[in-house]
Amino acid sequence: MANHTVAETLPVPFLEKTGILSWILSTDHKRIGIMYLVSISTFFLIAGAFALTFRFELLTPEKNIMDPHTYNVLFTLHGAIMVFLFIVPGLAASFGNFLIPLMIGARDVAFPRLNLGSYWIYLLGAIIILIALLKPADTGWTFYTPYSIQTETDVIMITLGIFVLGFSSILTGLNFIVTIHKLRAPGMTWHRLPLFIWASYATAILQVLATPVVAITLLLLIAERTLGIGFFDPAKGGDPILFQGFFWFYSHPAVYIMIIPAMGVISEIIPVFARKPIFGYKAIAYSSLAIALISFFVWAHHMFTSGISEVAATIFSFLTFLVAIPTAIKVFNWTATLYKGSIWLHSAMLYALSFIWLFTIGGLTGVFLGALAADVHLHDTYFIVAHMHYVMVGGTVMGFFGALHFWYPKWFGKMFNENIAKIAWFLVFVGFNLTFLPQFILGTQGMPRRYATYPPEFQTLNELSTIGSWILGIGIFIVVVNLIKGLFNGEKAPQNPYNSLSLEWSVPSPPPHENFEEIPHVTDWTYGYGKKQNTEK
Amino acid sequence: MSWLPEVASNLASKVDGVLWFITIISLIFFIIISTFLIYFAIKYRRRGDDEETPYITGNLTLELIWTVIPSILLMVIFVYGFVVFKDMRTPPKEATEINVVAKQWLWQFEYYNGKKTLNELYVQQNRPVKMVMRSDDVLHSFFVPAFRVKQDLMGGRYTQLWFTPTKVGTFQLFCAEYCGTGHSKMLGKVIVLSPEAYDRWEKGEEEEEGVASLSPAERGEQIYANSGCNACHSLDGSKLVGPTFKGLIGGESELEDGEIITADENYVRESILEPQGKTVKGYPPVMPSFKGILSDNDISALIAYMKTLN
Amino acid sequence: MEEIGIEHGHVHHIDPAVGYESSKLGMWLFLATELLLFGGLFAVYTIFRAKYPVLFEEQHHELNKTLGAANTVILIFSSLTMALGVASIQKGKRNLLSILLAITIICGVMFGINKYFEYTAKFEHHIYPSTSIFFALYYMMTGLHMLHVLVGVIILAVLLVLNIRGKFTEKYNAPIEIGGLYWHLVDLIWIYLFPLLYLIA
């Protein structure tokens, strides 16, 4: 293995320098990745704490610990912070930054200073949103008009924050597209690219093309509140459904901004721990792009009961089913990759397998919502809440935790306690299902979402869900403690603890500044596991 | 405990057909994937570091199968969902119209004969009804789980919904579109009457029954719960959208302009009929007028009830 | 055991040609986002014009067609000077670029002055964004566009200063080309805005 001897002579690891300026002025993609990782994780924990609080309120049908207004504020903040500060930047900005240059054999992204600028803009947006907490909005993260025009809470500040975050998202996406196009190492052809890169590419396209629309939408919403224009206000001749159309034109593709990077992560973890080539590489790669493309034409499936025409509803229902097909293909491909493998149930692999299982539930329940007649009954009930969390937590967060456990040795050069990681995984998995499975039934029984109080017949299932949230909370707490502890007293990580074939494992852990001493010349794809001579093809 | 609410409209059984159909297909797929996932994870778990694995990169036949079969099934589901949806959107010509106005946070129903009710919708068993709906303020959504119907309401545009109730009884009506602080208290009842009972209700005979035996304060308590007061006014002193009823009558209130008044019966009456006239400081002026909705008798009963809270 | 499929070659830091290609691709992507941003407003315009054709027809007469047309000519002219500027630096004519950039900037400023007079005249007639859907669109679209003109003028001013200091040559002029692309976009958007708002038939 030639790369081992090279490792001895390489320059200092990227983590060597300390001091605050060495971070906030760093243009090293790996450091910027860490800054994103720390920021998004902090917001994930804050928004999670909000959820635990209002889940506690739902233990009893009537008022428990908070008045309805506080409840409404908390679910709004939970949603807005989770979506805009955690999950949209999420895997793309943290792991995307860390991995894209390493995986394609580049020294950094195409525009390192712009990359740092994106992070600062993210931070600025985050600060504005924190200021908005002084008089927090109670509109729900969707900011539907005309309520968001009329409420006396501060909607302007939080939407302004999200507007600013949009720039960060656009610039990151732009940076990644150019990086993937122009900075691939010699020999790293499109069809040799790791699937995480394909996923990041599809995500970046969505970020660049969808975000401007939410920017203009939020700008118009701010203008409604400040200048008194009335595009979305029926009292002024405007149309509230127009807002929904605009909002979902961004926010549906945004759902895929959130999930596609996690799909990329899963496609990396499974072949390594199964020691098998990924099954159906091209199908997975192109289905990411297909999902990205179709996702621009399905937005109105959030609006079947809002008053859109029957024709529009029918067209959008049809297109929604189209997007389900590439998604299903991915699930089958991942499962097939396991066939005749040598499966190491490492904690990262456990998260990856959980992803497949939970995402299957999330995806199948999405089929209910795409079917017009079924959606009428299920829309705006807890069924939606459960479905969305199966995709966003069962999917993206499982992918995020999987990525954390998988690339942790590479990124930080340390190992974490694997046994504790497995226990934490178990609690997260059980807690998550206990929290959200009952919500499917609450939804089919008809409990509407965003209810601070509810009729007593829904109590038992709500109790189960709240108890589940405690287990989930404890599980996540252990994950965090275990990973932080590893940073201080974990063993030193070897260069390639899982014998992965991907380029990032060909450099020391943690990688040196500028990654590669010499740009590698790629001769094979990333997934050449298994014995080639014994099998056909 | 059933996973679906009871079936109480003609549409409900059709929607359940779609729900069951998708559930069965989903379960089949779910079981297949779960089985393979768990089976593979156990069967092929790593037993040693040098295990050999085959180099399999794909299988066109298999991939075609799992692309084509789900595609066909999804198209079937789409068509089935669409066909039932078409029914749900096409009211029969003979359907009786009822006007619905939603506002923060109550439902108002107006029948063809000019009769009005609040938060209680009276319909006749086996007679199709069509709701012509609008909102006075923000978005709301008319949702009756037992009927499997849901439709948003908004200002500046009418939306429609229809159903034929098939069972006599009382069914829960929810507001399903988030509409602010009182959202979870914007509840109503759909009361399905047999044709005879409906006749009596239409003629106004029903109302006197049972009500006469109640004291004014007891009647006031019913009005408090059924007319939407409870969405904004608490009984225990806590602050909701509006001031609490506890200790309101006879107590002192500071108005928006700084004037301090003693809230007496006349002030309460005035506030119910002309809510925007004298609002209490620190509360938004959002209360709708109950003029023409609550009768003089109702208001007196409500005041009698409020007095018991001191 | 499998091995990572690489050989070590001798390619080093980012090639200037790749850097140039990258920044151009980046700029085109950015322009795409700008088009989508305005695309949102054009969609709002289309929807409400279809809904309220009479209102649009009546109220557009309030707009000052002469000033609008003058601004159109100014911007088209400035696009021409910008394009000539890019061509001149590619031939190494640095002083000519400075002159052309200065003219472009003056055009941008003139555009802004005209807009200032237009807006104040509207305010004097008590026409505000809240007056009607049409005027809301007028203010939002031209306002957002004006913001882009302003940003464009600042970018061009920075480029002008850098050019006077001798930063750009026949070989290295990517920032001029990219700045020029942005200015053409600003011009292009106005070419759509002008007929949509001022010349409703």
Q: What is the pLDDT of residues A513-524, one digit of tens each?
A: 889 988 899 999
Average pLDDT rounded to a whole number, residues A469-485: 97
CATH classification of the domain holding C65: 1.20.120.80
Q: CATH: 2.60.40.420, 2.30.29.30, 2.30.30.90, 3.30.40.10. Which one for B96-208?
A: 2.60.40.420
* CB nearest A453 (choices: B80, B137, B185): B185
β-pairing, B140-144 vs B129-135, is: unpaired
Interface of C with A in 133-152 (CB under 8 A): 133, 136, 139-140, 144
* CB nearest C130 (choices: A6, A187, A227): A227
Q: Which residues of C touch A519 (CB under 8 A)?
A: 9, 11-12
Residue found under tokens 């696009």: C79
Chain A contact probe: residue of C2, C3, C4 with most A CBs at under 10 A = C4
Average pLDDT rounded to a whole number, residues C71-92: 95
φ, ψ at B259 (rounded to 5°): -65, 140
C-beta separation of A322 from A295 below 8 A: no
Q: State the nearest Cα–Cα gap between B252 and chain A, in angstroms.
A: 24
Q: State the nearest Cα–Cα gap between A472 and chain B, in angstroms.
A: 22
Per-residue model confidence as pLDDT tens digits over B236-278: 887 778 888 888 888 888 888 888 888 888 888 888 888 887 8
- Distance (Å, whole) CA C132 – CA C119: 15
- Distance (Å, whole) CA A7 – CA A510: 11
Nearest by Cα to A355 from A323, A331, A372 = A331
C-beta separation of B143 from B175 below 8 A: yes
Nearest by Cα to B278 from B300, B299, B258, B250 = B258
pLDDT for res B69: 95
Q: Which residues of B touch A317 (CB under 8 A)?
A: 78, 81-82, 85
Higher-pLDDT residue of B268 and C35 is C35
The whole-model pTM stands at: 0.90
The count of structural domains within chain C is: 1
- Distance (Å, whole) CA A397 – CA A403: 10
Task: Indicate the pLDDT class of residue C11, thresholds 50, 70 and 90.
Answer: very low
Q: Is the Cβ pair B85, A376 closer than 8 Å?
A: yes
Work out the percent of chain A whose per-residue pLDDT is above 70: 97
pLDDT for res A43: 97
User: Which residues are CB-contacts of A484 (< 8 A; sequence separation ≥ 6)?
Assistant: none
pLDDT for res B1: 59
Fold exhibited by the domain B10-89: Helix Hairpins (1.10.287)
- Distance (Å, whole) CA A317 – CA B83: 12
Does the structure show a pLDDT above 60 at A10? Answer: no
Residue positions counted in chain C: 201
Nearest by Cα to B280 from B300, B254, B304 = B254
- Distance (Å, whole) CA B296 – CA B306: 15
pLDDT for res C12: 44
Average pLDDT rounded to a whole number, residues A376-386: 97
C-beta separation of A385 from A439 below 8 A: yes
pLDDT for res B245: 86
Average pLDDT, chain A: 93
pLDDT for res B248: 84
Per-residue model confidence as pLDDT tens digits over C134-164: 999 999 999 999 999 999 999 999 999 999 9
Q: Is the Cβ pair B80, A151 closer than 8 Å?
A: no
pLDDT for res A535: 44
Interface of A with B in 378-397 (CB under 8 A): 379-381
In a domain, C77, yes or no: yes
- Distance (Å, whole) CA A261 – CA A492: 28
pLDDT for res A1: 37
Q: Which residues of A touch C1 (CB under 8 A)?
A: 499
The identity of residue A136, as a single letter, is: P
Coil, strand or helix: which one is B107?
Answer: strand
Tokens (6 digits) for B95:
């359907």
In a domain, C101, yes or no: yes
**Identical fold between B10-89 and B216-307:** no
Domain boundaries, chain B: 10-89, 96-208, 216-307
Tokens (6 digits) for B267:
């002030």
Looking at the complex, does the CB of residue C54 fall below 8 Å from at least one CB of chain A? no
In a domain, C13, yes or no: no
Q: Is the Cβ pair B52, A531 closer than 8 Å?
A: yes
Q: State the nearest Cα–Cα gap between C122 and chain A, in angstroms.
A: 15
pLDDT for res A408: 97
Q: Is the Cβ pair C5, A524 closer than 8 Å?
A: yes
Which chains reach chain A with 3 or more Cβ–Cβ distances below 8 angstroms? Answer: B, C
Q: Is the Cβ pair A523, C133 closer than 8 Å?
A: no
Higher-pLDDT residue of B222 and A130 is A130
Average pLDDT, chain C: 90
Domain span holding position C177: 33-198
In a domain, C172, yes or no: yes
Interface of A with B in 298-317 (CB under 8 A): 305-307, 310, 313-314, 317
Does the structure show a pLDDT above 60 at C9? Answer: no
Lowest mean pLDDT among A248-257, B123-132, C2-11: C2-11
Which chains reach chain B with 3 or more Cβ–Cβ distances below 8 angstroms? Answer: A
* CB nearest A242 (choices: C21, C34, C47): C47
Looking at the complex, does the CB of residue B155 fall below 8 Å from at least one CB of chain A? yes
pLDDT for res A139: 95
Q: Which residues of C touch A504 (CB under 8 A)?
A: none
- CATH number for the region A31-506 comes to 1.20.210.10
ipTM: 0.91
Interface of A with B in 445-474 (CB under 8 A): 445-446, 448-455, 460
C-beta separation of A338 from B41 below 8 A: yes
Task: Indicate the pLDDT class of residue C7, thresholds 50, 70 and 90.
Answer: low
C-beta separation of A327 from A266 below 8 A: no
Tokens (6 digits) for A309:
């025409």
Looking at the complex, does the CB of residue A120 fall below 8 Å from at least one CB of chain B? no
Q: Which residues of B touch A321 (CB under 8 A)?
A: 74-75, 77-78
* CB nearest A501 (choices: C2, C13, C37): C2
pLDDT for res A367: 96
C-beta separation of A298 from A317 below 8 A: no
Per-residue model confidence as pLDDT tens digits over A85-123: 999 999 999 999 999 999 999 999 999 999 999 999 999
Q: Is the Cβ pair B181, A374 closer than 8 Å?
A: no
User: Which residues are CB-contacts of A504 (< 8 A; sequence separation ≥ 6)?
Assistant: A99, A102, A103, A407, A410, A511
Helices (H) and strands (E) in chain B, counts: 6, 12
Q: From the CB of residue A20, how many other CB atoms can be counted at a distance below 10 Å?
A: 7
Looking at the complex, does the CB of residue B57 fall below 8 Å from at least one CB of chain A? yes
Does the structure show a pLDDT above 50 at C25? Answer: yes
- CATH number for the region B216-307 comes to 1.10.760.10
In a domain, C16, yes or no: no
- Distance (Å, whole) CA B93 – CA B83: 19
Looking at the complex, does the CB of residue A191 fall below 8 Å from at least one CB of chain B? no
Nearest by Cα to B33 from A333, A28, C35 = A333
Q: State the nearest Cα–Cα gap between C153 and chain A, in angstroms.
A: 21
Residue found under tokens 């002030």: B267
* CB nearest A146 (choices: B54, B81, B138): B138
Higher-pLDDT residue of A163 and A537 is A163
C-beta separation of B130 from B93 below 8 A: no
From residue B230, alpha-carbon distances to A34, A61, A67, A226, B242 in Å are 50, 15, 13, 33, 10
- Give pLDDT < 70 ranges for chain B: 1, 205-212
Q: Which residues of B touch A331 (CB under 8 A)?
A: 33
Average pLDDT rounded to a whole number, residues A460-464: 97
